[in-house]
Amino acid sequence: MLRGIDPVLNAEVLSVLMAMGHGDEVLICDVNHPAASIAAHTVHGSVVHMTGCGIERATTAILSLLPLDTFVDAPIRRMQVVGAPDRLVDAHQVMQRVADRAAGGPVTVEALARFDFYEAARGAYAVIRTSDPGPYGCFLLRKGTIEVGE
């Protein structure tokens, strides 16, 4: 245990977040996502597990340390619901709430079609798999910069 660091952030998660640079993306996903096959294409190369955490708990902890990129219009991307691209599921609403709270204001979340999302996810730095049952709890978070003195 360390002071000031959420205990759900295990050593591997912390290592990944520290190693990422500005503009790198991390995929936060639910248990339905093909995490292992996507992770094989990432820089990290294997799935990072946050067992026992849902999307809300995991992302709240991650965003307590990881700044979102302010140089892009949408620092978060999510998967669209197949057959209903404008539909928002619970996980989408949870992510929006968590991101807005962490950023101190509205965060734009871009929606991608399923296979476009998979392609984008293969370019992520790492895949963090939560225990969230989903569905559609799949998000790419783009890392921003930390100002001196933060």
Known catalytic residues are 22, 69, 118
- 52: Cβ–Cβ under 8 A, 6 or more apart, which residues? 8, 131
The phi and psi torsions of 66 (rounded to 5 degrees) equal -95, 115
Query: Which of 133-144 are b and which e, b meaning 16 or more Cβ less than 10 Å from the residue's Cβ?
Result: ebbbbbbbbbbb
